[in-house]
Structure formats: C-alpha cells, structure tokens
Chain A
Amino acid sequence: MRGITKRFPGIVANDNINLVVKKGEIHALLGENGAGKSTLMNILFGLYQPDEGEILINGKPVHITSPNVANELGIGMVHQHFMLVETFTVTENIVLGNEPKNGLQIDIRRAVKEVEELSRKYGLKVDPTAKIADISVGMQQRVEILKTLYRGADILIFDEPTAVLTPQEIQELIEIMHNLVKEGKTIILITHKLKEIMAVCDAVTIIRRGKVIDSVAVKDTNPDELAAKMVGREVTFKVDKKPPQPKEVILSVENVTAMGNRGVNALNGISFEVRAGEILGIAGVDGNGQSELIEVLTGLRKASGGRILLKGQDITNRLPREISEAGLSHIPEDRHKRGLVLDFTMSENMVLETYFHPRFNKNGFLDYAAIDKHASRLIEEFDVRTPSIHTKARALSGGNQQKAIIAREVDKDPDLLIAAQPTRGLDVGAIEFIHKRLVEQRDKGKAVLLISLELDEVINVSDRIAVIYEGQIVGIVDAKSTTEQELGLMMSGGKRMQGGGSDE
C-alpha cells in the first residue's frame, strides 16, 4: 500500500501511509485505539475507498472497490466484531454469498462437506450444523477464519483477534496462525498488544495518529521500544500506587443468582466482598456473567436469589435510583448505550442521575442556571474538553465522554464505585487518567470494583483479583503475586479446558 490517505469529516484517519507486507509473513499493524489501523484495513478490504494512494498485490496495482473485489484478489478479513448471522448455521455463514448450488437450490450437503474438509485441513475445529448463537466465541472466530479460507483467501487480515479470548485460546489462535503461514498464507495482524506481536509476528509497522512511524523486523526490537513508538513517549503501563489499606466491608455479595438474557442462569450463586480502600478487580472471559453481575448490583436486573449488602444495608432488587442514592456509582461498560444521552447537552448529561435533587429541582421545575453551574465545575475539574457545556455529548471524543461520565460518577461521592470496562476504546493518555482516578478513589478510602476484559488492566490496577467463570467466582488472588498463567487457567474454569468444541 502506497501513500494511502483517507479523510473523514474533521479528521485525517490515514495520512500518506505506506505498508509493505511480504508473502508468507505475519505482519503486525500496531497502534493505539483510533490511530487509523482499522481504517487502513477497511480500505484494503474494499469497505472504504482511499482519497489518495494505491494498492499493489504481487507488484500489480489493483483497485479494491468492494469486499467482493478483495475476495477475488484473495484478501480475507477476520473481523473484530464477528460478521456472522446469529440465526444461521456455521455452514450457512461460511457459504453465504458463494453458495454451492444444485439446480435452483443451495446444495447444503455439499456445503457441509466442503466446510468439514477445510476445517480438517487447517485444524480449525467447528460444528458445521450448529447455530452461531449456540457456539462459543472461540468457535465463532474459527468460523470467521474458515469464511475467508472458503473464499480462497491468501492474505488474511486479523482485526484485534485476541480481544475476546482467554490466554489459552490465544495460544491456540497463535498455533492456527502458524499453521496458516505454513500452508502459504500471509497474515496481517492488527493489534495494540505488544506481547502478541513479540510472540507471533515477523515484522511490525507502527502507526500513530494516522501516520506510519516506523516499520521494523520483530527480532530487531523490544516491547519498550514499540510502546514508545506507538504512544510517542516513554510509557510504562504500570500504575503508580501505594499499598492498599483495606478497611471495613462496603459491598458484600452473598450467593447471588440471576437469569441471563437467554433464559438460563448467568449468575450461579456468586459471592465476594469489596472493602473500603481497596480495588477489587474481576477478571474473566466475556460472557461469564460480568454484565449480569453489574446489572444486578445496580438494580438493572432482578436477582433470583441471594443477598447484596451495601454498607450493611440490603439493596437486593432495589430500584436503580434507590441503590444510586444509597451510595453506589457506576461507570457503565457501554458509555453510548447506558452512560450518556448522546443528544442531550453536556450540561444535561452531568445531572442525569441527580436532576431531581432539591438543588436542581424546584417544585417540579428544573433550575437550569444551577445545573449549568454544576456542569461547568465538573467539566473544569476533570478536564473534559468540550467547546461548551451546551454542546451535545455526541460531539465529544470517546475519551472526553468517558471523562465526563467519571466526573459525574465520582462527584456523587459514592462509597462504592463500579467501573466496568472503563478504558475500552480509549488512547493511552485517557487510560492513564482514568486509572489514576480509580486509584485516587481507593486512596480516599472508597471501595472500587473494577470489571474488565483486559487482563493487563485488571492486574495493574487492582489490589485483589476475583476470577469469574460461568457466573461464579472460582478464586480470589492477590494482584501482586499472581501470574497471567494462573489467572488464565482460572478464567477457563480451572481444570476444565475450554476452546475445543462447543461449550455445552
């Protein structure tokens, strides 16, 4: 790819980018969230058209005007958010768009056979007749890979493929990648995780703010150098903090059970405690009850059994507002869905949970002057970059939106702060800011519950780590003394290995 430039309204996502990938190598594309990696790959895959620049494959210039063209050129993409139709079977998803036909109708038997053959050849175990909705995330990813192979892809783009996997599943994926290269495929790996690059890649291209910073062979570099190039300054990724001084129990969860969206129990008698002055991290693979746990704690989902105590007061199945007023703040995992009303002004968003308090609410009429004053103070204090307090939340960057939410939640002066995936999709600067605030809360003697899918984050920020698996805490360890291997094993249910076959 030569001189690729892509502009979106108000931003240059790719600025004169050059990327050279050799046949048969695993090439990493490294950059922070928002650096322009995905945009570049979407151009290569034909989903976007570049404003400038050209793409050459085997020395020949090509115009990739649609994913169809990309497929024909042998480019396949394993998307971060799987492009799978939930209600279809594995086979249907794989052949979609290139269905083998028998007369007018789909030759489903032949399709199943072809899928089985491919699956054997590359060691990608799948159940061809299972519905996507019923199989594990790991298998869904293998279906995504098979989709590209079915279409005869020679160049495979993996977009942040490890985000949803356990350490063990990541190991398996790395093996799969090596297999693919052995079969003559070329792989581009998009990631912001340095360890993965060191483990599997041959070469790495680093981009920052839409520009290529450097392109080096992995054997000639080290993680610290890569990190510095990615962020633009020396970073340690270590969180500065004093030893914790845990005091009395603030939150106590006793044997709580709750239904998930699929009608089966998502929480199976979960129990743990969080003390004042400590950060308890919850580690686990996505879909093991984290979301449901947060919802039950905050009153957004009914618990079917057990008890939740906040400062000794029973808050089980109370209304979200009662729980919030009892001293619990919550940084939601999906800030666009839960955290903000995007079409409200920043000012209105800052009182989303407190507008009814007497200081803003006079006999049913809102005192907008007081609300604006409150918002101005918070925005100043937490350094939220917004043109005005009357700007709609939608117009702010993700980092600033998250800062605003944290400002609002911390300002409620809660006894317990629940932070769910607080740094998802943010750049390193914003991540550091948020981690600092969480530690600050702890040092003020508050209890903090951190729930994150990023294992590094849980290890770095927490004082104690509880591992959740299938709706239960399978173990609690000290953050300083544990290892990734130990956590990984617990995350996949201890002795029970996940990954192969379906979960059920």
Chain B
Amino acid sequence: MNRVIAVFTKESFLVPAAAIILGLLTGAVAMLAGGFNPIKAYASLVEKVFGSSYNFGETIRQITPLIFTGLSVAFAFRTGLFNIGAEGQFIMGMIASTAVGISLDLPAYIHAPLAVLAGALAGGLWGAIAGYLKAARGVNEVITTIMLNWIALYFANYILNAFFVPVGQQRSEMIKDSASITIGWLSQMFDSARLHWGTLLAVLAAVFFYVVLWKTKTGFELRAVGLNPHASEYAGMNVNRNVVNAMFVGGMFAGIGGACEILGVFHYQAVMAGMPGYGFDGIAVALIGGNNPLGVVLAAILFGMLTFGAAGMKFGAGVPVELIRVVIASVIFFVAAHGIVKVFLKPILKKKEGGN
C-alpha cells in the first residue's frame, strides 16, 4: 500500500496530473469567456464517451492511433531525437496500406498482415530519412521531420489521385475485404463501432517498446545514445546507426497506426485537405506519458476520450470542438514548463510534508 502511495506522489506522476487539471481549467476559463457552461460541457464530454456502447467503442477506436503515434514520439525521444514527424509517418503508413489493400488479391491471413507490414515499413522508412539526414549530414531532425510531414501529405495525395481515386471522387476505392482488420463480432457487440485488431497491436507495441529499450542490448545502446551520444561513441557504439534505427522504429509505430486507420476503420483513404493530426497529438501523448510505454497508453486513453468526447460538448453545451485543442495545447504547455506546475503544486506538497 505504501508503495502505491509512493508511486502516486512521485513527481513523474504529479506533474502530468497537475498539468492535465490545469489544462482542463484553462479550457474552462476559455469556455466561460465564450459564454458557455464549462461544467455542463465537461459533463457532456464524459456522457458522450460512456453514454452508449457505440460511443464507447468509438472512443477506443480514437485512442488506438494515439497510442501508436505517442509511442512513435516517445521511442525517438528515448534516443535523444525529437520526432515531430509522426504525422508524416502516419500518412505514409496510410497510403502504403491503402496501396497494398487495394491492389493485391491474397488470402486474408496473408493480405491483412502484409498491408499492416507495408504501412509499418513505409512509416519506418519515412522516419529513417530524417534519422539518416541527422546521422550522415547533421541536419536537425526537428526541421526535417516538419518538412517531411508536408511532403508526405502532398505525396500521399498525389499517389491517391494518380492511382486509386476514381475520376471525380475525393476518396479511394475500397480496400479488399481480405485486407480488412476489422473485428466483426466485437464491432457488433459495440453497436457496430469500428473496432479492429489494431488496438491489440497497439498494446503489443507498447510491450515491445518496453522490452526492447530496457531488456535488450539494442535498447541499452539506444538509451545510451539518447542520453549521451559522445560517451556512446567513446564506448564504441555506432551512434549514427542507432539514430537511424530509432527513427525507423519510431516511424514504424506511427506507420502501423496509419495502416490500422485504413484497414480497420475506414477501408478507404480520402484525399486530405490538411494533416490528420494524430501525429501532432502523439507529441502531447508522449510528453504526458513521460515517454514511457505505460504512460503513453494512459495518456492516449485520456486524449482519445477528450477528442472523441469533444463532439459531445458541441452537442450538449454548444461549445465548438476546437476548444479541446486549446485544452490539449495547455496541457502540453504546462508539462513543458513544469516549473509553472510546481508553483501550483507547492502548497499541496507542503501540506503533505506538514501532515507527516
């Protein structure tokens, strides 16, 4: 029991928790300023998420890609890289799985895994480009991943328009049924909410993340490079290779996330007017989750609920859905500037000390 308390008073838990509360409060202030009732709004958010089995299922659907992109950002971060490019890697995963899902004709047990794998590879390679440029040319990965996001967006649209979108339409044809990873019986249980195997993959990815980083030789190198590339070089590790590997694995996570959206949720890909946004949300998820896999899963659950529940706020209290972006932005801000959070936390921590 004492250990449980110890975990919950640890700074690594308190700061994100306080940041989330401060973020929700900021949102409340914004709602008050806009003439809305924040309590009613947040209540309808929760009601939306838990109100029906369909909506609950859809919330899980919303959470899944966030786990993937959160892991993507967190994995790179552990190797000292800031992957702003989960967005682009996600898009590359989508387009690759769309291509495989539409053009090939294979039995389901090969087709679906192959389509997911294609997404993983496309995302991974897209990430590896930034890794390579960093390793070989010393180009800051923040800049390259930002640029690669936009390139991915236009590139994917080009491929869609050129090969997969029927003339006059704005979305591709459907992928073959054999490439679908929808779980039919589970969807039926949740009133045909779009549930798919990707959620299970996401949880497995989190486990993979943990095992690789903290149990293997590769993980030892990746973490060493992330914490001190000079010492790693001195110790005979190949820093450049590790940088590329980390970006590849990170990109792979995001790529699978994109693939699952196509294969499990939409079964087609629409021409995009702008960024899908999962990659950017992944940054928030990774930060709140403290760049560790369990934290990422928990943070993804929270953000999935917020973004899906936002529609409930619109319906129940008339609040524009963009309000939830303000909340998420504030949460990231408060986690980044944890000094501010500590100012708020000080009285609470003091009380605790006094109580002991």
The answer on direct contact between A and B (beta carbons under 8 Å) is yes
Which residues of B from 215 to 229 have beta carbons under 8 Å from A? 215-218, 220, 223-224, 227-228
A219 at the interface (CB under 8 A from B): no
Beta-carbon nearest neighbor of B220 in chain A: A355
Q: A341-B228, A342-B227, A344-B227 are in contact. Are A364 and B234 (CB under 8 A)?
A: no
* Chain B residues whose CB sits within 8 angstroms of the CB of A366 once the complex forms: 215-217, 220
Q: Is the CB of B227 within 8 A of A338?
A: no
Q: Is the CB of A332 within 8 A of B234?
A: yes
Q: Is the CB of A300 within 8 A of B233?
A: yes
* Chain B residues whose CB sits within 8 angstroms of the CB of A100 once the complex forms: none
Chain A CB count within 10 A is highest, among B220, B227, B233, B238, for B220
Q: Roughly how many angstroms separate A348 CA and B217 CA in the complex, as a whole number?
A: 11
Q: Is the CB of B224 within 8 A of A344?
A: yes
Chain A CB count within 10 A is highest, among B223, B232, B236, for B236
* Chain B residues whose CB sits within 8 angstroms of the CB of A324 once the complex forms: 236
Q: Is the CB of B231 within 8 A of A364?
A: no
0/1 string, A125-145, CB within 8 A of B gives 1: 000000000000000000000
Q: Is the CB of B231 within 8 A of A320?
A: no
0/1 string, A342-364, CB within 8 A of B gives 1: 11100010001101100001001
A339 at the interface (CB under 8 A from B): yes
A321 at the interface (CB under 8 A from B): yes
Q: Is the CB of A298 within 8 A of B228?
A: no
A209 at the interface (CB under 8 A from B): no
Q: Is the CB of A364 within 8 A of B218?
A: yes
B230 at the interface (CB under 8 A from A): yes
A212 at the interface (CB under 8 A from B): no
B246 to chain A, nearest CB (A): 16
Q: Is the CB of B215 within 8 A of A352?
A: no
B167 at the interface (CB under 8 A from A): no
0/1 string, B136-148, CB within 8 A of A gives 1: 0000000000000
Q: Is the interface of B mostly helix, strand, loop or mixed?
A: helix
B235 at the interface (CB under 8 A from A): yes
Which of A298, A341, A342, A355 lies in contact with B217, CB distance below 8 A? A355
Beta-carbon nearest neighbor of A334 in chain B: B230
Q: Is the CB of A365 within 8 A of B216?
A: yes
A378 to chain B, nearest CB (A): 16
Which of A300, A322, A343, A365 lies in contact with B234, CB distance below 8 A? A300
Q: Roughly how many angstroms separate A325 CA and B231 CA in the complex, as a whole number?
A: 17
A337 at the interface (CB under 8 A from B): yes
B235 to chain A, nearest CB (A): 4
Q: Is the CB of A319 within 8 A of B236?
A: yes
Beta-carbon nearest neighbor of A332 in chain B: B234
Q: Roughly how many angstroms separate A342 CA and B234 CA in the complex, as a whole number?
A: 14
Which residues of A from 281 to 325 have beta carbons under 8 Å from B? 298, 300, 319-322, 324
A340 at the interface (CB under 8 A from B): yes
* Chain B residues whose CB sits within 8 angstroms of the CB of A365 once the complex forms: 215-217
* Chain B residues whose CB sits within 8 angstroms of the CB of A27 once the complex forms: none
Q: Roughly how many angstroms separate A366 CA and B216 CA in the complex, as a whole number?
A: 5
* Chain A residues whose CB sits within 8 angstroms of the CB of B216 once the complex forms: 364-366
Q: Roughly how many angstroms separate A157 CA and B123 CA in the complex, as a whole number?
A: 58
Beta-carbon nearest neighbor of B221 in chain A: A355
A185 at the interface (CB under 8 A from B): no
* Chain A residues whose CB sits within 8 angstroms of the CB of B235 once the complex forms: 320, 352-353
Q: Roughly how many angstroms separate A24 CA and B288 CA in the complex, as a whole number?
A: 59
Which residues of B from 169 to 204 have beta carbons under 8 Å from A? none
Which residues of A from 165 to 183 have beta carbons under 8 Å from B? none
A330 at the interface (CB under 8 A from B): yes
Q: Roughly how many angstroms separate A427 CA and B324 CA in the complex, as a whole number?
A: 56
Q: Is the CB of A352 within 8 A of B231?
A: yes
A347 to chain B, nearest CB (A): 11
Beta-carbon nearest neighbor of A320 in chain B: B236
Q: A300-B234, A366-B215 are in contact. Are A342 and B220 (CB under 8 A)?
A: no
Q: Roughly how many angstroms separate A165 CA and B220 CA in the complex, as a whole number?
A: 41
A355 to chain B, nearest CB (A): 5
B129 to chain A, nearest CB (A): 25
Beta-carbon nearest neighbor of A356 in chain B: B217
Q: Is the CB of B224 within 8 A of A330?
A: no
Beta-carbon nearest neighbor of B228 in chain A: A341
* Chain A residues whose CB sits within 8 angstroms of the CB of B231 once the complex forms: 337-341, 352
B291 to chain A, nearest CB (A): 13
Beta-carbon nearest neighbor of A351 in chain B: B220
* Chain A residues whose CB sits within 8 angstroms of the CB of B234 once the complex forms: 298, 300, 320, 330, 332, 338-339
Beta-carbon nearest neighbor of A339 in chain B: B231
Chain B CB count within 10 A is highest, among A322, A330, A341, A342, for A341
Q: Roughly how many angstroms separate A14 CA and B232 CA in the complex, as a whole number?
A: 37
Which of A337, A344, A348 lies in contact with B230, CB distance below 8 A? A337
0/1 string, B231-257, CB within 8 A of A gives 1: 111111110000000000000000000
Beta-carbon nearest neighbor of B234 in chain A: A338
Q: Is the CB of A341 within 8 A of B215?
A: no
A422 to chain B, nearest CB (A): 15
* Chain B residues whose CB sits within 8 angstroms of the CB of A338 once the complex forms: 230-231, 233-234
* Chain B residues whose CB sits within 8 angstroms of the CB of A343 once the complex forms: 227-228
B245 to chain A, nearest CB (A): 13
Q: Roughly how many angstroms separate A332 CA and B220 CA in the complex, as a whole number?
A: 21
A396 to chain B, nearest CB (A): 15
Beta-carbon nearest neighbor of B219 in chain A: A366
* Chain A residues whose CB sits within 8 angstroms of the CB of B233 once the complex forms: 300, 320, 338
Which residues of B from 58 to 78 have beta carbons under 8 Å from A? none
Q: Roughly how many angstroms separate A364 CA and B211 CA in the complex, as a whole number?
A: 11
Beta-carbon nearest neighbor of A299 in chain B: B236
Q: Is the CB of A341 within 8 A of B232?
A: yes
Q: Is the CB of A361 within 8 A of B224?
A: no
* Chain B residues whose CB sits within 8 angstroms of the CB of A352 once the complex forms: 224, 231, 235
Q: Roughly how many angstroms separate A364 CA and B224 CA in the complex, as a whole number?
A: 16
Q: Roughly how many angstroms separate A298 CA and B230 CA in the complex, as a whole number?
A: 13
Q: Roughly how many angstroms separate A320 CA and B223 CA in the complex, as a whole number?
A: 19
B340 to chain A, nearest CB (A): 21
Q: Roughly how many angstroms separate A319 CA and B232 CA in the complex, as a whole number?
A: 13
* Chain B residues whose CB sits within 8 angstroms of the CB of A322 once the complex forms: 236
B217 to chain A, nearest CB (A): 5
* Chain B residues whose CB sits within 8 angstroms of the CB of A320 once the complex forms: 233-236
* Chain B residues whose CB sits within 8 angstroms of the CB of A355 once the complex forms: 217, 220
Q: A298-B234, A353-B236 are in contact. Are A364 and B217 (CB under 8 A)?
A: yes
* Chain B residues whose CB sits within 8 angstroms of the CB of A344 once the complex forms: 223-224, 227
Beta-carbon nearest neighbor of A352 in chain B: B235
Q: Roughly how many angstroms separate A316 CA and B220 CA in the complex, as a whole number?
A: 28
B242 to chain A, nearest CB (A): 13
Q: Roughly how many angstroms separate A42 CA and B136 CA in the complex, as a whole number?
A: 42
Q: Roughly how many angstroms separate A366 CA and B231 CA in the complex, as a whole number?
A: 20
Q: Roughly how many angstroms separate A366 CA and B211 CA in the complex, as a whole number?
A: 11
0/1 string, B91-121, CB within 8 A of A gives 1: 0000000000000000000000000000000
Q: Roughly how many angstroms separate A352 CA and B234 CA in the complex, as a whole number?
A: 9
Q: Roughly how many angstroms separate A44 CA and B12 CA in the complex, as a whole number?
A: 38
Q: A residues within 8 Å of B by Cβ?
A: 298, 300, 319-322, 324, 330, 332, 337-344, 348, 352-353, 355-356, 361, 364-366
Q: A320-B234, A320-B236, A343-B228 are in contact. List 4 more A-B contacts (CB 8 A).
A: A321-B236, A342-B227, A365-B216, A366-B217
Q: B residues within 8 Å of A by Cβ?
A: 215-218, 220, 223-224, 227-228, 230-238
List the 4 closest pairs (A to B, CB-CB), nearest first. A321-B236, A338-B234, A352-B235, A320-B236
Contacts A/B (CB < 8 Å), 26 sampled: A298-B234, A300-B233, A320-B233, A320-B234, A322-B236, A332-B234, A337-B228, A337-B230, A338-B234, A340-B228, A340-B231, A341-B224, A341-B232, A342-B227, A343-B227, A344-B224, A348-B220, A348-B224, A352-B224, A352-B231, A352-B235, A355-B217, A364-B217, A365-B216, A365-B217, A366-B216
